[in-house]
Structure 1
Amino acid sequence: MPTLEQMSACMRVCQTLSNFYVDIHLFRYDAKREEIYILAGDTLGITIFPSGDWEFDEDEQT
């Protein structure tokens, strides 16, 4: 189950994506890692940690 901090951060991230009309393609909670992963737009990946901190995925394309 996601933490309250995680759920709050998730709502802020999803609202921001929505404000910029970015499609959210995947929303997943990984119970083993206790992380939320959001895939949005063409290549935007966001991980939300139990603390509520979040980060963009590293772009490994060259």
Structure 2
Amino acid sequence: MCFILCQSLSDLHQDIHLFRFNVEIGEVYILAGANDEIEIIVPQNGAWRFLDETQL
């Protein structure tokens, strides 16, 4: 799922600034966009979601 999300971001000409796998919880964090406005969390089950400020 992570590769599909990264390909979609790339297709939309969005820069990917950070792609991090957290081994402890098994999640991937993706930070993208011209102003880092796109934050995506991908848990082990693949049900990705956008992260917003209220979830920090």
Pairwise same-fold verdict (TM > 0.5): yes
Unaligned runs of 5+ in 1: 1-8
TM-score normalized by the length of structure 2: 0.86
Aligned length: 52
Deviations 1:26-54 (A, max 9, x none): 00000111100000012110000101110
Moved over 4 A (4+): none
- CA RMSD in angstroms comes to 1.0
Residue in 2 aligned with 1:32? 24
> Rg: which structure is higher?
1
Residue in 1 aligned with 2:47? 53
* Partner of residue 9 from structure 2, selected from 5, 11, 17: 17
TM-score normalized by the length of structure 1: 0.78
